[in-house]
Amino acid sequence: MKLEREQIDRYFDDGFVIVEGLLSREDVQAARDDVAAIVDELARRLHAAGRIADLYLDHGFDTRLAAIEAECPGAAIWVTHRGDLRPGLRQLWTSPKLLDIVEALIGPDIAGHPIWNIRSKTPRTTLMTVPWHQDTAYLQAGAERTEQPVAWIPLTDVTRHNGALQMIRGGHKAGAAIRHRLQRKVDDPRSSFLYIDESDLPPGDVVTCEVEFGSVIFLNQLIPHRSLENHSDAVRWSIDFRWQNPHLPTGQEGIVDPIVMRVDGRPDFEPDWAGWLAAYGKQHDTYRGKSQVDEFDPAYEGDWLKRWE
C-alpha cells in the first residue's frame, strides 16, 4: 500500500496518520505467537519462583497476562522491559507494507531505531496507563531533529474503553522536546514513565484514536500522546516500532546503532540481524536498565530517566 499525498500531509501537519486495514492477520500472526511465548515464559518463571500458584494455561492470548497480573501485581511490565526481539517480531518490523510507508515519510534509506516495545495494557492497571509524553523524551537530547516515525500496531481492536491512544493534534510543530518529569517522584514510585505536566502541554485538539485490528497509527516522535486506562476484561496488546535515516542522530549514540533495513529503496536488502543483535544485548542492559529488587519488580532504573533528573 502506498500513502496518498493527503495522508502524507496529514502525518506532517497533524503529527500522526491512521492507515486503516494495512496489515492482515497473517502479517501479524508470527508476532502474536512470539508475544504469547514471552507471556508463557513469564508465567513459568513466576511459578518457579513461587510468585504465582497457577500457570493459567486455560487462558488465551487476550486474558492470560491479565490473570498473571491479578495474582502478581506489577509483573506485566516484565513483558515490555524484557526486550525479547524474537523472529516473528523482527519479521513484522521489516514488513514491506510498513517499510513502504516509512519510505514515503523519510526517504529510501531506512534503519530500525533500537528502541521498540511490546505494550501490554492489562485491565484496570494504572501502572500501565501511559501519561502525556513525547517519545523523543526517552532519548538523548538532539534526536528531536531527526524524523523518527513510529508505527503503533494494535494486536486487537482498540477503543476508548480498552485503552486507546490520544494525540494532541499538531502538538509536534514546535520541533522541540517539552519539559518532562518523572512520574515516580509525584505518583507511583514503581513507575518508569516520564510525563508532561498539563500546564506544559501545547495547544491543540485532543484526538482519541480508536482503531480496528489491522490498522496502524504512524506518529511523529514529537507529538504529545498518552494511552487511556483499560476498563475491559482483556489485555489491550500493541507493538511499537520506529525508524529513521541511518545517517542521522538517533538519541542512542554510544549505546548501539540502528539496524539498516533498506538502502536506496531496495526491498531486497537483507538486514544484518546477527551482528546487530549482538550489540543489542548491551543496549538492552544500558538503556532499559534493571530493577534493584529482582527481575519481576516493575521499578526499573534506566538511562531514559537520567535526562530529566
The overall average pLDDT reported for the chain is 92
Cell of 154: 494494535
Q: Which residues contact 99 (CB under 8 A, 6 or more apart)?
A: 110, 243, 261, 262, 267
Residue 152 in 3-state DSSP?
Answer: strand
Q: Are 105 and 2 in contact (CB under 8 A)?
A: no
* Cα–Cα distance for residue pair 82/57, rounded to 1 Å: 21
Band of the pLDDT at 292, cuts 50, 70, 90?
Answer: low
Query: Whole-angstrom Cα distance, residue 82 to residue 200?
Result: 32
The number of CA neighbours under 13 Å toward the Cβ of 194 is: 24
The answer, yes or no, to whether residue 216 has pLDDT greater than 70, is yes
- pLDDT (average), residues 77-87: 89
Q: Is-contact 31 239, C-beta < 8 A?
A: yes
220-276 pLDDT, tens per residue? 999 999 999 999 999 999 999 999 999 999 998 888 899 999 999 999 999 999 999
- Residue 83's pLDDT band (cuts 50, 70, 90): confident
Q: What residues contact 108, with CB distance under 8 A and at least 6 apart?
A: 262, 263, 264, 265
Q: Is 219 helix (H, G, I), strand (E, B) or coil?
A: strand
**Cα–Cα dist 102/31, whole Å:** 20
C-alpha cell of 68?
498473571
The model's pTM is: 0.94
Please tell me the predicted confidence (pLDDT) of residue 98. 98
- For the chain, first and last CA: distance in Å? 43
Contact 241, 93 (CB under 8 A): yes
**Is 128's pLDDT higher than 90?**
no
Reply yes or no on whether the pLDDT at 199 is more than 90. yes
Rounded distance, CA 19 to CA 218, Å? 8
Torsion angle, CA of 82/83/87/92, rounded to 10 degrees?
130
Give the cell for residue 197: 505536566
Check: CB of residue 81 under 8 Å from CB of residue 233.
no
SS3 state at 175: coil
Is residue 151's pLDDT more than 90? yes
